[in-house]
Amino acid sequence: MTEVKEGAALPASLWAATAQPAADTPPLREPVSVDVAIIGAGFTGLSTALHLAERGVKVCVLDAAEPGWGASGRNGGQVIPGLKYDPDELVQRFGETAGNRLVETVGAAADNVFNLIDRYGIACDAVRRGWIQPAPSAAMLETVTRRARQWAARGVEVSLLDAEQVSQRLGTKSYIGGWVDHRAGSIQPLSYVRGLVRAAQGLGVAIHGRTSVTALSRDARGWRVQTRSGASVEAQRVVIATNGYTGSLWPGLRQSVIAANSFIVATRPLAPEVGHAILRGGEVASDSRRLLRYFRRDAAGRLLMGGRGPFSEPRAEGDWAHLERAVELLYPQLKGVGYEYRWAGRVAITADFLPHVHEPAPGLSIALGYNGRGIAMGTTVGKYLAARLCDDASVPFPFDISAVRGIPFHGMQRFYITAGVAWYRLMDAVS
């Protein structure tokens, strides 16, 4: 698990000031015995814990820092269904039966988030007005039009937009068209995490922050999860859900993903006369560039802009300058508006751009790698993983179970990201 100093708190630059207060998640001090021990208190770990608790399973969740400390609390708050691949591509890749099951599952991923929010009354500024994917070129417009039609053929409510329509919705003339997926929406992500914590605790789940896991071992009785404090957890099953902050707890796991930084800035709340035309319908947006930009308005009227950034952790305001330039390119009227928050979180990118689920030993499950769609996909994987852990044959598991495979030359991931960003920027410019 990622090395985090005891008592570590959320970074000062994080957009945490607008989140709901944290629940009490004290460090683990005494040995405990549970049915399932979960390592990582982000979307996947907490969703798994909550869905297990609904089934009456005794669960303990451990986190090296605190719930939401990683990218689950440090993202742009967009709840978007689906994967990088379009429905027809998934069917072609996995076959008719498995492919269509996966399409149906990922297509309902946003439903799983908003259903939990409704069921447990989670206060997280939830808005469900859809996702706009605008296209900056004719080639990209053809791609997103094909995507929209594939989802429409499966009964999903979509809308195609021409240049004037996308301009009216976004408040910028930078795009020539696009589509709207009405299943999507937005949340305050850290508030959502903290709401999941409270919901799980209400069903008896023990959640311990500032509890770094140092070792896993297994014998005839089950698993032993050892922590830095010396306290341990005995469990029949263990789930590792550390995503972009995965360390060396299980051999080769850290090398199976690229931990890329996602950077976000938030303006000061926009005055009505300036912001009224920007995403006036409350949608979220992420464009179809290879090096995409994603943006939305929050509950206070700020504009949030996100995108990829340097591999190294940001240290100074200038590390977010590329996003502030993007804001001014899309919305020249916001020049000089000022920025209230800047933050970043590491997302886990897989070599095939699909979520990875592994079962490398009896009673051990690993889930990670959402490639930037962690809110919807982490919540969804947790739901289905809970059913699998309970051996519920009535809920077919829709995700492929794969071996842990390292990415070649993983030690050069800094180079991968830097080169990839430069290449995608060039390809976007050419197209």
Give the whole-angstrom CA distance, residue 66 versus residue 23: 10
Q: Give the strand pairing for 232-240 and 32-39.
A: parallel
Specify the DSSP class assigned to residue 60.
E
Contact 315, 261 (CB under 8 A): no
Contact 225, 62 (CB under 8 A): yes
Count CB atoms within 10 A of the CB of residue 224: 17
pLDDT at 14: 56
Determine the residue type at 149: R
User: Domain 1-127+185-258+351-431, what architecture?
Assistant: 3-Layer(bba) Sandwich (3.50)
- CB-side neighbour CA atoms (13 Å) of 246: 27
Contact 335, 210 (CB under 8 A): no
Distances (CA, A) of 106 to 45, 65, 241, 367: 18, 29, 19, 15
Give the whole-angstrom CA distance, residue 47 versus residue 36: 13
Task: List every span in the chain annotated with CATH 3.30.9.10.
Answer: 128-184+259-349
Please identify which residue in the block is written with the tokens 């469990």: 235
Task: With CA atoms as reference, report the closest residue to 175 among 134, 126, 214.
Answer: 134
Specify the DSSP class assigned to residue 176.
S
CA 396 to chain centroid, in Å, comes to 23
- Both tokens of 170, joined, read 């976004």
- Measured in residues, the chain has a length of 431
pLDDT at 178: 97
Contact 109, 371 (CB under 8 A): no
pLDDT at 418: 52
Q: What percent of the chain has pLDDT over 90?
A: 85
User: pLDDT per residue over 57-107, tens digit each?
Assistant: 999 999 999 999 999 999 999 999 999 999 999 999 999 999 999 999 999
pLDDT at 426: 37
- 325: Cβ contacts below 8 Å, ≥ 6 apart: none
| pTM tops 0.75, yes or no | yes
Contact 192, 125 (CB under 8 A): no
By three-state DSSP, how is residue 234 classified? strand
CA angle 81-298-22, nearest 5°?
85
> At the topology level of CATH, where does 128-184+259-349 sit?
D-Amino Acid Oxidase; Chain A, domain 2 (3.30.9)
Count CB atoms within 10 A of the CB of residue 130: 24
In which region does residue 139 sit, left (phi positive, over 0), alpha (psi from -120 to 50) or beta (all else)?
alpha
Task: With CA atoms as reference, report the closest residue to 228 among 209, 242, 215.
Answer: 215
- State which residues of the chain have pLDDT below 70: 1-15, 289-291, 311, 409-431
Count CB atoms within 10 A of the CB of residue 87: 22
Task: List every span in the chain annotated with CATH 3.50.50.60.
Answer: 1-127+185-258+351-431
